[in-house]
Amino acid sequence: MILCRTALGKNYQLKSWNYSYNDEMPEGYDSLHVLGQQFPKTSITINGVAMPLCDFGNHSQNCYAPLQFSEYIVKDSTRILPQYVVIFQ
């Protein structure tokens, strides 16, 4: 697994998965935020970076979320900087 530092910029939030990876990014946005079924209720901030904790809540029933957790999609690879490689045994 590769953990990356990412400059999301202005993100466009999708509440349902009706988007193709080949579609153009809406004008004025740098990344997509696909809303998941669950979200972390609490987080801690260290050196300006918010890290989620393991207490999860569910989004409203009005939202169709095919993913369990939220996902960010960045199309411009220059906005992504690999930081760490994590190897599981």
Show the domain range for 28: 2-85
DSSP secondary structure string for all residues of 43-63 = EEEETTEEEE-S-EEE--TT-
Q: How far is the C-alpha of 19 from the C-alpha of 14, rounded, in Å?
A: 8
The whole-number pLDDT of residue 20 equals: 63
- Please state the rounded mean pLDDT for residues 79-85: 94
Query: Domain tally for the chain?
Result: 1
> Quick check: 82 pLDDT over 70?
yes
Q: What is the pTM of this model?
A: 0.64
- Lookup: tokens for 2: 């590769």
The overall longest dimension of the chain from CA atoms, in Å, is 43
Tens digit of each residue's pLDDT (9 = 90 or more) over 7-66: 999 988 877 666 565 566 788 999 988 877 777 777 888 888 777 777 777 766 555 556
